[in-house]
Structure 1
Amino acid sequence: MSPSKLFALIQYPLPHHLISRLVGLLAETRIGWLKNLLIKAFIRRFKVDMSQAAEHDPTAYACFNAFFTRALKADARPLGEGLLCPADGTLSQFGVTRHGTLVQAKGQAYSVTSLLGGDMQRAEPFRQGSFATVYLSPRDYHRVHMPLTGTLREMVYVPGRIFSVNQATADHVPALFARNERLVCIFDTEHGPMAMVLVGAMIVAGIETVWAGQVTPLGNEVQSIRFDTPITLERGAEMGRFKLGSTVVMCFSEEMPFDEDALAFGDTVRMGQSLGEFHNP
């Protein structure tokens, strides 16, 4: 048995939520020496580049979570053309959605309906579109930004397990992103509906949005919230953040112009990087 498969299998019996909540309490501690110890150890372990942070002094952060969701300098992530990458990380998968099926990893697929909370009507616009998955590693910048300008139509909390979402687990846990706790945000854009899915993971202490603050965990049932007052976010604007790392899955109702000559599975990407340019007829 491969080490990656063993790593995936040992996660099944673990108390995912309990572990995550305990880590969350530790990540929120304001005890000076303890939070400084945690932050400095994390920087050393994952070789975090603090030179691009708006606040580069590790001891200036109120708690570990404040450090983890740190802002960057204003010019650290210039915006490219066309469709933008929403976060720093690894471009795990991207491509066309056929018959409502998305690719998770080689030999692994899952449905857009299950990803978006099990509602077929919600998922219908995305059955023949496209998608992209970005995995945020511990060392990455953990704020998520808009790939396109969009107006929020619906926010859906979907409860679930909290498996790790690294490549080893994605290779061996079926329908991983549709099993984990996640937040689905549906936007209307000039290129049709867009779903931004923020997927929780082991020891992720919470998911936040700029319009609602922390929104997970919310309970054991799918919860949908619709917005009568328009909330419009510009292309490149922050839309959410992870308290500890995870994955973003973007679903589009149209085929996006992914630059297949410049992009490949497993590429390191940065927020604001162009994933492809639109060409007007």
Structure 2
Amino acid sequence: MFWLTRRHWLALTAWIIRLYVRIFRVDLTEAAEPNPGAYPSFNAFFTRRLRADARPLPSLPDAIACPVDGRVSQAGRIHHGKLIQAKGQHYSLEGLLGGDPSLAASFQNGLFATLYLSPRDYHRIHMPIAGRLRQTILVPGRLFSVNPTTVAGVPDLFARNERAICLFDTNAGPMAVILVGAIFVGSIETVWSGRLTPPRTQAIHVDDAGDGGASLSRGDELGRFNMGSTVILLFPAHSAHWEPHLQPGTAVHCGQQIGQLDHD
């Protein structure tokens, strides 16, 4: 899939993109380049930019902006080191974070939101709030599909799939933006490291940003999926709260207010 989506087949590529747009009802009027024939490869179309005015940010300075276009899979509080995967299913915070107990401790009793990106969605990921990159952790794993049916049927899916954990220092404390790989996700990229996968790794790889970590404002692009997947947000306890509308199944758009930071 990685190879196929990057081929330059000119007229064939344009035909495939037009077919995809029709099948998945993709709204190209929001794209910076609305002409399907202008994309040199399917991956260029899939990771297309939007118009600058397509996703305005919240007006409130303490608002948490949704990092992606997609749908809420689950959202809520982390209880006893567990996150909700689907109705009746939970998985481990420590497992999600690559088995690091000290990192998991920083998010105990905090907030999580799991956001699913479907094939029709915009596939770039943006910052929910301003932050400075502290660490990127690449955790090897499977590439199970992350559609709702599979999420409901595969135990511990998000702690088993390949994922890139992006840790930021923010005014609310640590924040994790976790990019979860899935079937057909041939590559996960960040703006500071470029392509993280492939190649696939056999061991957890930790990249400490040090004092030179990327400093990103709310709404800045932080990465992208090459084919669809899921983003999981983590905030520490007593740092923020989600908006009441952030319920499973709710459609969300990048830049939309999904929560607000709390202040003592």
Please confirm whether the aligned pair reaches a TM-score higher than 0.5, indicating the same fold. yes
The CA distance in 2 between the partners of 1:253 and 1:263, in whole Å, is 18
Query: Root-mean-square deviation (CA), in Å?
Result: 1.2
Aligned pair count?
Answer: 258
| SS of structure 1 residue aligned to 2:151 | helix
The CA distance in 2 between the partners of 1:158 and 1:34, in whole Å, is 36
Q: Which residue of 2 aligns with 1:5?
A: none
Q: Which amino acid aligns with 2:204?
A: V
Q: Which residue of 2 aligns with 1:253?
A: 236
Q: Which residue of 1 aligns with 2:130?
A: 149
Instruction: Decide whether the 8 Å contact of 1:149 with 1:234 is kept in 2.
Output: yes
Misfit runs of 4+, over 6 Å: none
Unaligned runs of 5+ in 2: none
2:102 counterpart of 1:121? yes
Q: Deviations over 1:6-55 (max 9, x none)?
A: xxxxxxxxxxxxxxxxx111100012123222211111110100000000
The CA distance in 1 between the partners of 2:247 and 2:78, in whole Å, is 17
Instruction: Decide whether the 8 Å contact of 1:192 with 1:254 is kept in 2.
Output: no
2:194 counterpart of 1:220? no
Equivalent position to 1:67, from 30, 45, 55 = 45
The CA distance in 2 between the partners of 1:99 and 1:216, in whole Å, is 32
Equivalent position to 1:272, from 240, 251, 255 = 255
Instruction: Decide whether the 8 Å contact of 2:117 with 2:228 is kept in 1.
Output: yes
Q: Which amino acid aligns with 1:41?
A: L
Equivalent position to 2:55, from 77, 81, 90 = 77
Q: Which residue of 2 aligns with 1:4?
A: none
Q: Which residue of 2 aligns with 1:58?
A: 36
The CA distance in 2 between the partners of 1:87 and 1:119, in whole Å, is 26
| SS of structure 1 residue aligned to 2:114 | strand
| SS of structure 1 residue aligned to 2:2 | helix
The CA distance in 2 between the partners of 1:29 and 1:182, in whole Å, is 26
Unaligned runs of 5+ in 1: 1-22
TM-score by length of 2: 0.95
Equivalent position to 2:150, from 155, 169, 177 = 169
Percent identity at matched positions? Answer: 49
The CA distance in 1 between the partners of 2:262 and 2:143, in whole Å, is 39
Instruction: Decide whether the 8 Å contact of 1:27 with 1:35 is kept in 2.
Output: no
